[in-house]
């Protein structure tokens, strides 16, 4: 399925939770998607770092979008499972997630993502995620 950036933005706008979080697609190519989230107080937990649920949701939806770029027409991609490795507490002005498909398939795709925190123009890896996406008939 060919997906351009405007189409991808439309997909994200149709996902109410992603809209509520403020996740915005930045770039898309075959098997790869980048997104951004401007950090707001609502994203933080009691210690002042971004809540792990926000980080996991950002990575999950971005990985799913990367897999969707490789899905056949008439099919959707849904998450079968994912594993989140929190490497450090995420703080800063925004988060950037880069996701890609490692192994495409007809019924499942294996994906990975990295979430970077951006503070003062510096990027630092905060989260590494892997996920299995199921390809289902629409």
* All domains of the chain in start order, with CATH: 5-137 (3.10.129.10)
* The two three-digit tokens of residue 121, written as one number: 């123009």
pLDDT value of residue 2:
81
Residue 62 CB contacts under 8 Å (≥ 6 apart), including other chains: 23, 33, 34, 35, 97, 98, 99, 113
Torsion of CA 76, 82, 88, 94, to 10 degrees: 10
Alpha-carbon distance of 8 to 107, in angstroms, equals: 22
pLDDT value of residue 8:
95
Across the 138 residues of the chain, what is the mean pLDDT of every consecutive 10-residue run? Answer: 91 96 98 98 97 98 98 96 98 97 97 97 97 97
pLDDT value of residue 90:
96
pLDDT value of residue 85:
98
Task: Tell the residue number behind the tokens 């990985």, with chain if given.
Answer: 63
What residues form DSSP beta bridges with 28?
33
């Amino acid at each position: 399925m060919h997906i351009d950036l405007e189409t991808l933005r439309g997909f994200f706008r149709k996902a109410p939770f992603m809209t509520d979080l403020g996740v915005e697609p930045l770039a898309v190519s075959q098997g790869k998607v980048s997104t951004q989230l401007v950090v707001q107080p609502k994203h933080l937990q009691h210690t002042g770092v971004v809540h792990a649920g926000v980080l996991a949701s950002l990575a999950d939806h971005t990985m799913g979008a990367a897999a969707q770029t490789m899905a056949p027409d008439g099919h959707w991609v849904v998450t079968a499972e994912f594993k989140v490795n929190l490497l450090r507490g995420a703080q800063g002005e925004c988060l950037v997630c880069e996701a890609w498909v490692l192994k495409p398939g007809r019924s499942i795709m294996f994906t990975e993502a990295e979430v970077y925190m951006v503070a003062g123009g510096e990027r630092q890896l905060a989260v590494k995620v892997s996920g299995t996406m199921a390809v289902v008939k629409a």
